[in-house]
Structure 1
């Protein structure tokens, strides 16, 4: 406004000097120039008086949208029409009133608004949990749908008791899935014709629930039966299976020992225990040690071992766990003359 008045005054002086206007003409020209000041539109909503405080955006502007309220927090609103017009008319470098600073920045200010809004959205998102999810620390981890080696739980204890009741060799019902439990699971899976991995899934659990137990081949007397096809040893009394033991027999491969070549073969047929060693025994062919072996034909024996996998792995003997061999010796008994039937 001051700049316009300055330019207008210089114009009046030149006009008076050239045209020598009369008093009435000068008054008329002055009135005309004063009306021209009004040709520059004042800010909407009132005079642009820099001494008066800027209007509150929250009261004059539109209602904030739900999205803006969520991202910018309580009390935030969009700039009003008055605020935008005032900022365009003012060149004052003094500190802007609240709500005017961003608009004074022009395009940069609007960009900053967008950045702040985005940051606000990010902060809100960070505080919100994804739909359908909860903090893992607030929940107990889900129990796996299978039982495997290393688990310690009540359900392992229930399974151990079930296996023991069915006659699978297991001595401790302690709820911990260790080596002895694994041997019993191997035996159950072999008896049920299942995959032999020691993992108790639906099929293995069903076999336990259904009471799957191998049927013996003999009907009288105390007999040590060896099922080569299913890799099992059965302690049988008068046609009833007393104990089912995981076993590993000859793997069918050829091997060299003491200058000769042999085949890792477990012969089938009817035999009897003819020799036994109550302790650790070293193979005469230098093939390793056998725990408390009971020989039933040639150098082939049922004996304890620390390694009894779920598949054939021996040189021809029948491996069982050391604890199972102790049971055969100390609890069930299989003295010399005990029948051994291999099929």
Structure 2
């Protein structure tokens, strides 16, 4: 049996047949191939510090579902957008790492939103299991924010040992401070008190896990937004569960 070594031209031709993406198999409509290619191109993996049209698209989708990104889609993946991604990831039961990959894009396409427990009036709901704060009106979740509640760890204050806990229950906002409060356990930005010394307040650090002494942390920007748009006036119901 005579074996012939393929010529260089033949090898190149064979490679082109395998790798050339111009033609699609007869069983697959060309439109389907083109659509798939567009989806891949418009859904890159995004992270804090990225910018451009894809980030703007991400922000528009987050805002449409009530995950607050700072108000407008500016195409800049900053801290507000990262906080919104954290909130979506928590609701979708994904690892809250702030990275927008295929699972996050899928959650956006599936319009994943949290459910409310209240059914009437305006209620701020704090979901300790998911670590999100929800602003609810007549049973519909309007906005969802990343939050961090009591860590459950022991701490010492005033010579006594306490547990860092955010107690469950139904409360109302009874006091607020439009500015910083230098509390014994830390600095609170624009706090809204609803249970003794426990408040919803702004903080420089809002991790994705329970880390506070008992307060409900949101970002400083989110605290400004809550105040400036009147989302949580005195008397607002606060449900913690």
TM range (shorter): 0.7 to 0.9
| Cα distance in 2, alignment partners of residues 333 and 160 from structure 1 | 21
Q: What's the offset of the Cα at 1:301?
A: 0.5
Q: What's the offset of the Cα at 1:172?
A: 3.2
| Cα distance in 1, alignment partners of residues 56 and 212 from structure 2 | 32
Is 1:294 the equivalent of 2:192?
A: yes
1:162 is matched with 61
Contact 2:66 2:143 in 1 (8 A): yes
Q: Once the two structures are superposed, what CA deviation does each residue of 1:17-44 show, in whole Å capped at 9, x if it has no partner? A: xxxxxxxxxxxxxxxxxxxxxxxxxxxx
Q: Once the two structures are superposed, what CA deviation does each residue of 1:310-339 show, in whole Å capped at 9, x if it has no partner? A: 111101100001111122222143222111
1:313 is matched with 211
2:3 is matched with none
1:150 is matched with 49
| Cα distance in 2, alignment partners of residues 295 and 334 from structure 1 | 10
| Cα distance in 1, alignment partners of residues 233 and 102 from structure 2 | 40
1:323 is matched with 221
2:109 is matched with 209
Give runs of aligned pairs for residues 107-146 of structure 1, distance below 5 A. 145-146=44-45
| Cα distance in 2, alignment partners of residues 144 and 235 from structure 1 | 29
Cα RMSD for the two superposed structures: 1.7
| Cα distance in 2, alignment partners of residues 273 and 333 from structure 1 | 12
Q: TM-score, normalised by structure 2?
A: 0.80
SS at match of 2:114: coil
Q: Look at both structures and tell me which one has the larger radius of gyration over its CA atoms.
A: 1
Unpaired segments ≥5 residues, structure 2: 1-18, 20-40
Runs of 4+ in 1 over 2 A off after TM superposition: 142-145
2:235 is matched with 337
Q: What's the offset of the Cα at 1:306?
A: 1.1
SS at match of 2:199: strand
Structure with the higher fraction of residues in helix conformation = 1
1:237 is matched with 137
Greater RCO, CA 8 A, separation 6+: 2
| Cα distance in 1, alignment partners of residues 198 and 214 from structure 2 | 6
Is 1:172 the equivalent of 2:79?
A: no
2:37 is matched with none
